[in-house]
Structure 1
């Protein structure tokens, strides 16, 4: 990120700044220290994980709000829900010093006015919204978003919950009716892209809306374990063609790595699918040309197909937890600490005529650290 992001004006974290529970006392090791050498301001919108402590940590760090005063919460919710921690102000002051240079003075020093905002540039407006835990915008934020969207400049929406994800349409609801996508699709508002976090991988859906195309992007693969992409069916949502859909990691790489993960942990060697085997399996499953040519001939066997079924490449009643249930209750099973990590970040460059979005892979392997590979690129006209 430091190499690719050299000279950028600012960075944005698209939800879930602190994983898994948003504690204000974890900003030192999980935010200030990792980004201490990035020489520009960082802004953020909160995700559902940042709300798990009542948004106290996020508001204290990014908006310089006073510390939350915990309120008694009786009943079952009070017994089960995580209580906000008292922030150690001495540790927070020491952590802020890690990003204390004048060039870095931005949101981490309280410059954000709130958990939703708009950043103005000459050619583009970047609009960030807070979707909370329930994926609903309240009345105040809804009115603000409608007002801000009347600005005549082209716009990017940055949202905590992606609108198109895993071949499904999941727009955030608005108080009073309608969805956030109603605002995005309105041609008068001139949105050219909507980028959502939350899901730990990269996906892009170019959706035709009238006589234009809006790029709907999932970009949540920055920190925590990778969410599988091999469980995504052949894409057909919103008439997006499979060959126009992009994801990282590629489905075959996702399947291969999850097979390696479970084969090792369950000591079931037959589950392991080599990358070239997984590429061919997923091409057969999706019905498309493999996005990467396998090395050497590959004969797809019954063992390979059974392994793929057990790992969730096909709908199958007896499969290992690689989907939503696993991520909610057994996420530790999906975590690994050796490369490749299959993380990513986005780089946006803007001119008066064009916005270019590039997805860069972060694998943890030396060659990719020296020369970060571009996994996807899209150029969007702003004229």
Structure 2
């Protein structure tokens, strides 16, 4: 059972520091092994026993949760709704977003300095990947439940939460997700109502929000499609839909064009094009941990807002600015120039990923330890010739087997988005770089150890000395090779975007969306970003504050602000922005969506 902090427990001494966890170290060998095993098991279990099929029978759910009326049955004049995706990672990033989302009100400035007043959402939607690195009750508790409970505290009423599962939520077969979000549980941070992993919300003034479950294969099961077909029959042609998927297919189809569209994508295409069609005014997705907005000629929006707490993803990939469907890039956060600069941090790979550095040290040590020991047995007159070192390596069966493993591992690690041949070449060059540097390191260690052979009388002590040198050199240089490979791969060849930024574990550039359905039937989307999240916190002690507030000594932290001007979608045209409305300069006109022509073919 999910425990709720402070409920049913005797009060104890208050902690002096937040109880949260640091950002996930994705290059920690233990994390890699655990995540890989969970991915393998979840993929097997998910294909053999799809939990959605069981829930469709065992857990009935109303076609739509109605928020178009208030508790007294009167039509709502307005509604505020928050959308957060890709959360549950490090404390600083997840809690910073949670504090902004759960605030009763939030005043945010745009680039011109104009202040926009927003209200905390009565409804909260999690857009996917609610925890990292893999789903479990313990990880949900520490990385998701506690941050939102501490952030809300007693500042306002708990929002109604609806959650879309992502691939990380599926890594335990969706068991923990279902227990936390689909059984009517309440925490101090939210109240849940959904009974399945997908849902429909009826919102004021003819707006609807649909949340899908794409499982691990980007697939909608037949029961889910049938569910949304029934929902679509209840949606008049004049109403508009916000469709929330866990992944932005409109970007992934461009970044990985070789993957194509398989038969598993047919249900998604059928839902979007045939069932909903022109009713969809806005597509929302996470999975990519940044903000990116595309718009077509009719004003329809496709927005990625995956900045709820997970590490930052790059925005400077090519081939995503335009697509054949006519959607063009309007804004991204961080900017492409900033994203490209951040990639250079991979040159500090060794310091950023110490456990991976230790792993590389072991690999380099195993590659050359036996060779160095054999060279130590030779004459200690001087530095051994390079040819002698090379011959010793080629004659070492263990070193050659491990070298082959390094090559194959680098080929397997290489990105395949440019094709099989590119993967083989890039992976081969990456592996060859490691082997060449390892060979030079062996030569250098032999050059140091041989002159000292007479002084180090015991052969065991001499061999240990060589092994330590190989380990230290590999731990320093090996990760640097990996970092340089990722830097070149991303900034030159547009490959390894996930690997090049997961290595950095950047907690900043967070974002979420605040949606306002007003009395005139318009939807205003406020894309809110946090440029730099706080790194230091102190306990507040005030009932109307979150449990933890930023430490004033952390002067580099920045407050929430608008990423771009509010995006307005509505039946009637938004009032024009007059020159001089801003402070000191003109305010850019908001993006306006006119009434759709629903009779046009999709």
Note whether the superposition's TM-score is higher than 0.5.
Answer: yes
Structure with greater proportional helix content? 2
In structure 1, C-alpha distance between the alignment counterparts of 2:303 and 2:135, rounded to whole Å: 24
In structure 2, C-alpha distance between the alignment counterparts of 1:176 and 1:371, rounded to whole Å: 38
Q: Does 1:377 align with 2:583?
A: no
Deviation at 1:240, TM superposition (A): 4.0
Match of 1:142 in 2: 225
C-alpha contact 1:228 1:322 (8 A) present in aligned 2 = no
In structure 1, C-alpha distance between the alignment counterparts of 2:140 and 2:284, rounded to whole Å: 24
> 2:159 is matched with which residue: 20, 25, 40?
40
> 2:522 is matched with which residue: 343, 346, 354?
354
Name the Cα RMSD after superposition.
Answer: 3.2
Larger gyration radius, structure 1 or structure 2: 2
Match of 1:57 in 2: 176
C-alpha contact 2:219 2:268 (8 A) present in aligned 1 = no
In structure 2, C-alpha distance between the alignment counterparts of 1:250 and 1:194, rounded to whole Å: 21
Deviation at 1:379, TM superposition (A): 1.2
Alignment of 1:78-157 (within 5 A): 97-99=187-189, 104=190, 106-107=191-192, 111-123=193-205, 124-150=207-233, 151-152=235-236, 153-157=239-243
> 1:364 is matched with which residue: 533, 536, 541?
533
Deviation at 1:142, TM superposition (A): 0.7
Cα gap change, 1:29 to 1:199, in 2 (>3 Å) = same
1:65-95: CA deviation from partner (whole Å, max 9, x where unpaired): 8xxxxxxxxxxxxxxxxxxxxxxxxxxx9xx
Where do 4+ consecutive residues of structure 1 move more than 6 Å?
169-172, 306-309
Alignment of 1:65-84 (within 5 A): none
C-alpha contact 2:293 2:304 (8 A) present in aligned 1 = yes
| Between 250-259 and 169-178, the greater mean CA deviation after superposition | 169-178
Alignment of 1:1-383 (within 5 A): 1=100, 2=103, 3-4=105-106, 6-36=119-149, 37-38=151-152, 39-64=158-183, 97-99=187-189, 104=190, 106-107=191-192, 111-123=193-205, 124-150=207-233, 151-152=235-236, 153-165=239-251, 168=254, 173=264, 178-183=269-274, 186-187=277-278, 190-208=279-297, 212-233=298-319, 235-238=321-324, 240=326, 244-259=329-344, 261-265=345-349, 310=488, 312-315=490-493, 322-324=496-498, 326=499, 332-336=502-506, 341-351=508-518, 352-362=520-530, 363-364=532-533, 369-375=558-564, 377-382=566-571
5+ residue gaps in structure 2? Answer: 1-99, 107-117, 153-157, 352-483, 535-554, 572-594, 596-602
C-alpha contact 2:528 2:560 (8 A) present in aligned 1 = no
Match of 2:470 in 1: none
In structure 1, C-alpha distance between the alignment counterparts of 2:225 and 2:324, rounded to whole Å: 25
Give the TM-score of the pair, scaled to structure 1. 0.67
Helix, strand or coil: the match of 1:164?
Answer: helix
Larger relative contact order, structure 1 or 2 (CA cutoff 8 Å, min sep 6) = 2
Cα gap change, 1:218 to 1:247, in 2 (>3 Å) = same
In structure 2, C-alpha distance between the alignment counterparts of 1:154 and 1:312, rounded to whole Å: 38
1:318-369: CA deviation from partner (whole Å, max 9, x where unpaired): xxx7424x27xxx7513145xxx11111111112431111211122165764
C-alpha contact 1:154 1:192 (8 A) present in aligned 2 = yes
5+ residue gaps in structure 1? Answer: 66-92, 268-305
Report how many aligned residue pairs link the two structures.
Answer: 290
1:239-285: CA deviation from partner (whole Å, max 9, x where unpaired): 5475x4321111111111121x2233369xxxxxxxxxxxxxxxxxx
C-alpha contact 1:163 1:181 (8 A) present in aligned 2 = no
Helix, strand or coil: the match of 2:490?
Answer: coil
In structure 2, C-alpha distance between the alignment counterparts of 1:19 and 1:377, rounded to whole Å: 30
C-alpha contact 2:232 2:276 (8 A) present in aligned 1 = no
1:113-154: CA deviation from partner (whole Å, max 9, x where unpaired): 211001122221111110110001011001111221231231
